[in-house]
Structure 1
């Protein structure tokens, strides 16, 4: 089984390797043996990242969302640009590396399973694909509206913060299957002059990232719109600014945690991405009308 590179992780990057006992369960269980992750992660501004494998014993997917890199796999070679996914098949020697001037930022996953070849055929990665999304077995798939994938990717990455038992392994396998199933839809040309955004997808992205302090740039990037057009369209749709809407959503989540749980105010603050509990308390009072301690007493 191919191992992920031991390249030193820069700040903000992550790498998760499934424990061997869990892998054996996923390989044998009928719910997961068709397709399951072996390892996956996110490399940000991966300067100096370079991997060469003469023997490759699983499948690898690399999705570039910023910067660029290049690859060689069998008879195929080229550059990987933002919005493109590279698939490296089992048994094919390969080499890939980040560009020295514009190093890529990538999501990646090593995976295996009884149904992987069927997925490769479905995606058009196999040269014998009946209806290839990308002809002639080209290992690169170019996506158009790829930002809709980020909420599922975030949920998959967030599993690293939890205990990796079999239930979490089943969830990881299901999320990976969903991601691969959606890729052909993402490869369809997007409509010209796209001015809309999907509020439901954006709300899910916000919920999945409630432990972070998302800025306007990150929210606009998820929708594929400029800051100006995103802010204008969002206010027209919701009557609120994007950042304030996100904060209000987090304060509603905090209110639910105060009503239903036993976490301390400091714990709730940290769960929602606020290191300073006093700042969190001021925000909560601004949006809910009461300080967290009084709100808990009143709600009880």
Structure 2
């Protein structure tokens, strides 16, 4: 068992493999999220009946409860890998625009994989927290490299707008869908598929979290805090706070 089981990006394991031509790993069921990053050579992964070719700089992600199967295509195939077993790990990868399947990410940052392995030695809480920090850096590096070489996806553009403007009480999903030039239902479907929740729920959660932070940090009137968090109706804000905390805004402010 991990020393810190509740870290959403907690690293289960990490490693580096060098496989020779003709080697295959067949039908191995794994119940965790695993990311592979090719260093040299070529190989392929099987997912849902389709083979995904891997070359240096490409990554492949298996979602939890999937069957892992791979084969070597060159004289030698080298890759680094990292696995996460928290139930929300796949959502973290999706937030970095990393999805099940193959993507081209550029040169593998082998030094980061080595640092993560060093951090996990000893199975300590401090080491696992350090490994989680390094894993975040790893995913951030992958995200930066892939975004520099291809257009930003529609869901990620939509999420960025929500993150920038959620405190505007007049912001609506219809307004953003018009700005992006797509139908609201299309935007909702793609966002939900990418992030695992409806955009309306994401917007609401962002506003509630901002409201709770403001209640903690200042003594302004509840109506002012509600508006600053993006709520038009202070009464609706009060109901949202009570649902999230079991307390009224004033009780939470004074707690």
Give the TM-score normalised by the residue count of structure 1: 0.44
Distance 1:140 1:66, change over 3 A: same
User: Unaligned regions of 5+ residues in structure 2, if any?
Assistant: 150-255
Structure 2 CA distance for aligned equivalents of residues 78 and 152 of structure 1:
25
- May I ask how many residue pairs the two structures share in their alignment? 149
Structure 1 CA distance for aligned equivalents of residues 68 and 29 of structure 2:
8
The partner residue of 1:178 within 131, 134, 137 is: 137
Structure 2 CA distance for aligned equivalents of residues 26 and 64 of structure 1:
29
Structure 1 CA distance for aligned equivalents of residues 29 and 19 of structure 2:
27
CA deviation vs aligned residue, 1:47-87 (integer Å, no higher than 9, x gap): 55432335331111111110111111114422111001110
- The alignment partner of 1:41 has SS state of strand
- The alignment partner of 1:169 has SS state of helix
- Could you say what the CA RMSD is over the residues aligned between the two structures, in angstroms? 2.4
Alignment partner, residue 109 of structure 1: 82
Distance 1:60 1:82, change over 3 A: same
Distance 1:71 1:158, change over 3 A: same
How far 1:181 sits from its partner (Å)?
2.5
Distance 1:72 1:166, change over 3 A: same
Alignment partner, residue 116 of structure 2: 156
Structure 1 CA distance for aligned equivalents of residues 140 and 50 of structure 2:
24
Distance 1:61 1:115, change over 3 A: same
Distance 1:164 1:48, change over 3 A: farther
Distance 1:167 1:55, change over 3 A: same
| Counterpart mapping for 1:72-221 below 5 A | 72-99=46-73, 101-126=74-99, 139-144=101-106, 146=107, 149-159=109-119, 162-189=121-148
Structure 1 CA distance for aligned equivalents of residues 66 and 136 of structure 2:
22
- Given that 2:63 and 2:90 are in contact with CA atoms closer than 8 Å, whether structure 1 keeps it comes out as no
Structure 1 CA distance for aligned equivalents of residues 140 and 55 of structure 2:
21
Structure 2 CA distance for aligned equivalents of residues 123 and 74 of structure 1:
23
Q: Which has the higher contact order (CA 8 A, sep 6+)?
A: 2
CA deviation vs aligned residue, 1:231-255 (integer Å, no higher than 9, x gap): xxxxxxxxxxxxxxxxxxxxxxxxx
Alignment partner, residue 27 of structure 1: 5
Give the TM-score normalised by the residue count of structure 2: 0.51
* Larger strand fraction of residues: 2
Are 1:63 and 2:23 matched, yes or no? Answer: no
Structure 2 CA distance for aligned equivalents of residues 124 and 75 of structure 1:
23
Q: Which runs of 4+ in 1 moved over 6 A?
A: none
